[in-house]
Amino acid sequence: MTDEAKKPLEDLVKSIIGNFAGKEKLTEEEILSKWGAVVGEQAAKHSRPRSFTDSRLIVHVDDSSWLYELTTRKKYILNNLSSELKGKKLKDITFRIGELK
């Protein structure tokens, strides 16, 4: 097989693998782009997604009142964020008091 003939097949395989892998992995940009829309503008000012490992999102909040508020809305946030991320794996959210930088 010539290099020219391999190229379309190689591109197809990369595309298929990329699409499959995309359904499993979340990027920080994807999460940040959806966060404000899901939690609302005011809550987004007081919270920031910090890390994502093992299908669990860690979110820092700036004080205990926002920790309580977002914790009470956890199920709603988890369901809506999962919907916004279109099938990507997000199983849990943990809220912690921390820096928003």
HEC assignment per residue over the chain: CCHHHHHHHHHHHHHHHHHHHHCCCCCHHHHHHHHHHHHCHHHHHCEEEEEEECCEEEEEECCHHHHHHHHHCHHHHHHHHHHHCCCCCCCEEEEEECCCC
d(CA 101, CA 16): 36
Residue the block writes with tokens 């009470």: 72
pLDDT confidence of residue 89: 81
Instruction: Kindly state the average pLDDT of the residues 53-69.
Output: 95
Instruction: Kindly state the average pLDDT of the residues 73-89.
Output: 89
Averaged pLDDT score across all residues of the chain: 83
**Domains present along the chain, CATH in parentheses:** 3-97 (3.30.300.180)
Q: Taking 50 as the threshold, does the pLDDT of residue 79 lie above it?
A: yes
pLDDT confidence of residue 5: 58
